[in-house]
A and B are shown apart, each in its own frame.
Chain A
Amino acid sequence: MAFLLRRLCFYLAAFVAAATINFFLPRLMPGDPVQIMFSSAGAELPPESLQALKLTFGFVDGPLWQQYLTYLGSIFSGDLGRSIKYFPLEVTTVLGNALVWTVGLMGTATIISFTLGTFLGILAAWRRGSLFDVIVSVGAIFATSVPAVVTSLIVVFFFGFTLNWFPTGYAADPALDPAFTLEYIGSVLYHGILPMLTLCTVLTGGFAVTMRNNMINLLGEDYIVMARAKGLSDGHVMLWYAARNALLPTVSSLAIAIGTILGGSLVTEVVFNYPGLGNILYQAILARDYPVIQGQLLIMTATMLVANFIVDVSYVLLDPRLKRA
């Protein structure tokens, strides 16, 4: 419990740090930052949006510390200001709608690639030096060293444009109304296959290599030899003696990978024109919609911290030593 509490405090500090960066960045701009943002947005904005923009960045009357506290206050009450591009929509509304798609895509891809990668890693380590091991190891090097943007573009080119097997944009058929019907859900799955395939290609290799190497480190341990000496079946030793213990450091590597997963999913969404955070962000960058760009940092940081916390909790569940500590 103390462990989790300490992590929570740390995550809070990290979130405040991200908010602090957001607070100071516009203030480091030369000239009047709000005017610059206002004019660089290029769109025809109603005059009242200028005031909204000032409030978004905490430009209230008063000394700097007071502005800072006001800014933090509004962020912690869930107010990220208003978007320039989609004025007068709130940033939280714009990003919130997109977050659902991103978390869905990212979450599914993470679960699939983590499971697949872990099993590939277990088998590769168990048959170390075999053709299977070589294929998994070399394939992992290749897949992880190619940027996500490149993988997405190549996948969209072959499966989307050349073979025409899958759609190359949107999360579902735009003609359908979002509803819990079989048709709509089917369309969502059909549209999700390519982005999912891309993310899994990018992610699986890393998990496989981590698991493989953790396994190899453990295979020389006495209790493995003991289990074999007892005459337990190969599969039983592999899964319940070796893999079970090798899983622990793999889970902690998952926490570190979350940042990469987020980044990969942003890029993938842009390429596949998927209506998640990445795409909203891309549109925001093109339109220089600063409140949305800043808001995504906070939402992404929060997502990352929540994911980290989930990993922390599962770590406590998996490692009984931490429960007693």
Chain B
Amino acid sequence: MKSQPFGLIRNRKALVGVAIIAFILIVAIAAPLLTPYDPGARVGRPHQAPSLAHWLGTTRIGQDVFTRLIYGARTSLAVGFGAGLLITIVGTALGILAGYRGGKVDEVISFFTNMVLVVPNLPLLLVLAAFIGQASPWVIALILGATSWAWGARVTRAETLSVKQKDYVKSAEMMGEPRWRIMTFEIFPNLISIVGINFIGSVIFAIITQATLEFLGLGDPKVVSWGTMLYAAQKASALSVGAWWDILTPCFALAFLGIGLSLLNFAVDEIANPRLRTGNRLGRWSALIRSGEGRL
């Protein structure tokens, strides 16, 4: 584990990924310094093309697109990392609990995990968000956390099953360490790579899903985020009136962030598991899935 920071620096995919994320993060934090405008204010004529005064043009109601982009990055990043953390915590806790305790506990948790996995996620989120009304970014993060942990729980459980057989866990059991201690201090640290991959994957998922929900009109239109930018632009028929800057700006921002996170995800896995350096991520995932399959 000690060589990980060095590994991350040496890995080209990781470097590019981290650079992309850091760039977006810095721009988001420094937003007020980078633009003279307010993200919600009308500062120009509607649908002006990019110019010196408005680098990325203006929206249908005359807001500055660049300003909305960099302020929106704050929301998208915050929800992504917040929801990603929530998803990972729930998934990891349930996965370790099911894998380590086994028996009835495992049966109940695995049953619910498999159930959540076959109910389509986006339609479920749509129903939840529709009943909540105009969901604020934090509400979206919460419902993402509540509905999207199953994948991580399944993978973590499968990995726990194999770690549990290791000698150091057996010896901790013999010494009479309490169960919670074994789960937190013996098993969890050895799952750190799978937890890391789960976390980054969940962040990607959360950012994409938040943008999708908001694009579909389930977000709070007053909030400035990349999803609500897409929603407003689509509603103003930005493409058919030729205002490509209005809609392509959040598009490329989302693509850029998604690619950065994916590169980091692949790299973390390669570093944590040297034998996978050929890019074996998905192969191992499907092996894990298979080992967890066959039981309901």
Query: Interface of A with B (CB < 8 Å)?
Result: 6, 10-11, 13-14, 17-18, 21-22, 25-26, 28-29, 128, 137, 141-142, 144-150, 153-154, 156-157, 160-161, 168, 206, 209-210, 212-214, 216-217, 249-250, 252-253, 256, 258-259, 262-263, 266-267, 270-271, 281-282, 285-286, 288, 290, 293-294, 296-297, 300-301, 303-305, 308
CB distance from A158 to the nearest CB of B (A): 10
Cβ B254 vs Cβ A263 within 8 A: no
A285 near B130: Cβ-Cβ < 8 Å: yes
Q: How far is the CB of B277 from chain A (nearest CB, A)?
A: 12
Partner of A147, one of B130, B212, B244: B212
In this complex, which of A149, A281, A301 has the most chain B Cβ atoms within 10 angstroms of its Cβ? A149
Which one of A206, A256, A288, A293 lies within 8 Å of B127 (CB-CB)?
Answer: A293
CB distance from B296 to the nearest CB of A (A): 5
Q: What residues of B have a CB within 8 angstroms of the CB of A297 in the complex?
A: 119-120, 123-124, 126-127
| Cβ A281 vs Cβ B247 within 8 A | no
**Once bound together, how far apart are the Cα atoms of A311 and B255, in whole Å?**
31
**Mask: chain B, 236-261; 1 = CB below 8 Å from A; 0 = not:** 00011010100110011011001101
A263 to B207, CA, bound (A): 14
Enumerate chain B residues within 8 angstroms of A301, measured Cβ to Cβ.
118-120, 123
Asked if residues B115 and A13 are in contact (CB atoms below 8 Å), the reply is yes
- Residues of A near B108 (CB, < 8 A) are none
* Residue interface bits B150-163, CB-to-A below 8 A is 1, else 0: 00000000000000
Main secondary structure of the interface of B (DSSP, over half): helix
Give the shortest distance, in Å, between A189 (CB) and chain B (any CB): 23
| Residue numbers in B under 8 Å from A26 (CB-CB) | 131
Q: Is B122 an interface residue (CB 8 A)?
A: yes
Name the residue in B123, B212, B215 with the highest tally of chain A Cβ atoms < 10 Å from its Cβ.
B123
List 5 tightest A-B contacts by C-beta distance, closest first: A213-B283, A145-B262, A263-B122, A145-B258, A300-B123
| B97 sits at the interface (CB 8 A) | no
Task: Tell me the residues in window 90-143 of chain B with beta carbons closer than 8 Å to chain A beta carbons.
Answer: 114-115, 117-124, 126-128, 130-131
Cβ of A215 to closest chain B Cβ, rounded Å: 9
Please, which residues of chain B bring their CB within 8 A of the CB of A305? Answer: 118
- Are A263 and B266 closer than 8 Å at their CB atoms? no
A157 to B130, CA, bound (A): 29
- Is the beta-carbon distance between B124 and A263 smaller than 8 angstroms? no
Contact between B263 and A141, CB atoms less than 8 A apart = yes
The residues of A that contact B293 with a CB separation of less than 8 Å are 252
Q: A145-B259, A157-B247, A214-B283 are in contact. List 15 more A-B contacts (CB 8 A).
A: A14-B115, A128-B278, A147-B207, A149-B211, A149-B254, A157-B248, A161-B242, A213-B279, A253-B282, A262-B120, A263-B120, A282-B216, A285-B126, A297-B127, A303-B120
> Per a CB cutoff under 8 Å, which of A137, A249, A263 touches B290?
A249
For B217, the chain A residues whose CB sits under 8 A away are 282, 285-286
